[in-house]
Amino acid sequence: MRIPQRPPGIGDVPEGLLIEMLQSRDALAIAKDFNRRYLHWEEIRYRDIGRNDHAVIWALMKILRSDGQKELIFGKTQIRYSFIRDFMRIVHEIDTISSAGLFSEENMTKKSRIVYAASSVMEESIASSQIEGASTTLSLAKKMLRENRAPRNRSERMIFNNYNAMNFIRRRKDEPLTPDLILEAHRIITKGTLEDEGYEGRLRDNDDIVVQDALTGDVYHTPMSFEDISASIQSVCEYANDDSEFEHPIIKGIILHFMMAYIHPFMDGNGRLARALFYWYALKKGYWSVEFLSISKAIKKHRGKYDLSYLLSETDDNDVTYFIKFNLDQIKTAFDTFKRYVERKLKEQKEMEQSIVSNPDFNLRQRSVLMDAMKSDEPFSVYSVQKKYQISYQTARTDIQKLIASGYIKVSGRKGNMALYRYDKTNDRTIPLQKSLQSILISEKL
């Protein structure tokens, strides 16, 4: 990946020419259009802008950007960003999706929430590790996590650790951010993956580290001196814990993500920790819907642009607007992906409900029993059906037997001598009647 050229300074443009261009409608129109898209010098320096000078247009862009730009200081590092119009639109959409009926109990049962969240945490752990070089397939990695199998190599260990770290930050979301919490998260992320295990959960104590292209050796980022790390980490914690001035939580979480990667406080695991820190802050601020997202999965599909967003920001006087813009797009993509998934599942459920309502093999009561089972995570018994519908025990048992034989209901366990049942989301609706009845006889003393 080519490193973006550092932009010229405003001081490189003669003051008289700059004042003249500030009165030029044509030049200002070009500068405003480029700023609307928040382009970097690298993206404009070869564009056709007529008789205008690229350095002058860039200087106008910087002047216009400075109006309302927010500046933040972390130790010796100063960053800035502009809350551009696109940000307003995207954070509004995120807020709307997060508070909309998509996540309501009507659309997502308690069990569904648990399943969705567990699956998303797995996918986030896998994708975040793959961004940093973990080599394995999604299915194999998920199988390892579901079975709680011990990792067999470094790639699996990275994923296993990341999964534990994601669960760790969920448990600690209500706590203030502290250097100790950061160290503990890093210890979990890097356990058993470093050449020197002494660096697990320990800040680096040297400057023998650069971020570079593994093939070309091009240096993309030279982290700050190890002597400045502690003060910078403390500043990051103070920023995360300070609510005296409102910043949109999603924007602030992205800034925490950027700063952790920029500081590069550890010998390894900085990227995974930075992405986990975003989740921690979003959850802390009540954006529990991010539990259902794998943002790193979206980032991984655009890995080159992810790396470039760091470089665009660093080469333009640490203007992190570029990094925020990229990450907001990926968060929105992750929300949209999950929204489509839930909507597809809801459509399938409605189609299934319709097939039940129109099924001539069931009477009205049996359809009602089955619809209740579909919408509830709680198991039910012959006795509970008998009580709810005020029917005989034998009639309730006959209803359940028929539903099991049809492949819709399965035995899920026992409570004393009483069999418990649930809706079967996986069973084949063409299950042979004889096989179903055998299952009933085995599981329940008729």
Spans of all domains in the chain: 10-66, 70-344, 360-443
Q: Which residues does 216 contact at the CB level (< 8 Å), separation at least 6? A: none
| Options 3.20.20.10, 3.30.1490.20, 1.10.3290.10, 2.40.110.10; CATH of 70-344 | 1.10.3290.10
pLDDT at 431: 39
Are 277 and 190 within 8 A, CB to CB? no
pLDDT at 270: 96
Are 408 and 424 within 8 A, CB to CB? yes
Which DSSP category does 130 fall into?
Answer: H
Q: Dihedral (C-alpha) 12, 308, 271, 329: value to the nearest 10 degrees?
A: 110
Which DSSP category does 410 fall into?
Answer: E
The tokens of 295 are what?
């943002």
pLDDT digits (tens, 9 = 90+) for 388-439: 889 999 999 999 999 999 888 999 999 888 999 998 877 555 434 334 334 4
Q: Which fold has domain 360-443?
A: Arc Repressor Mutant, subunit A (1.10.10)
The tokens of 260 are what?
């952790």
How far, in Å, CA of 269 to CA of 154, rounded? Answer: 13
* CB-side neighbour CA atoms (13 Å) of 204: 20
The tokens of 217 are what?
């050796």
Q: Dihedral (C-alpha) 126, 129, 135, 140: value to the nearest 10 degrees?
A: -20
pLDDT at 68: 86
Alpha-carbon distance values, 120 to 154, 167, 294, 311 (Å): 22, 12, 6, 29
pLDDT at 11: 87
Q: Which residues does 141 contact at the CB level (< 8 Å), separation at least 6? A: 122, 126, 156, 159
Q: Which amino acid is at 417?
A: N
CA 260 centroid distance within chain? 17
How far, in Å, CA of 302 to CA of 94, rounded? Answer: 20
pLDDT at 289: 86
Closest CA to 424 of 445, 443, 440, 408: 408
pLDDT digits (tens, 9 = 90+) for 194-216: 999 999 999 999 999 999 887 78
> Residue 88: how many CB atoms within 10 A of its CB?
11
pLDDT at 338: 87
How far, in Å, CA of 373 to CA of 396, rounded? Answer: 14
pLDDT at 206: 95
pTM of the shown model: 0.82
pLDDT at 155: 94
pLDDT at 334: 92
In terms of DSSP H, where are the helices of 53-153?
Answer: 54-66, 85-99, 110-131, 138-147
The tokens of 395 are what?
């009639």
Low-confidence ranges of the chain (pLDDT < 50): 430-446
The tokens of 302 are what?
């655009």
pLDDT digits (tens, 9 = 90+) for 336-388: 988 888 888 778 778 877 877 778 888 989 988 988 888 777 899 999 999 88
The tokens of 429 are what?
């609706």
Coil, strand or helix: which one is 268?
Answer: coil
The tokens of 410 are what?
């399965």
How far, in Å, CA of 58 to CA of 66, rounded? Answer: 12
pLDDT at 147: 86
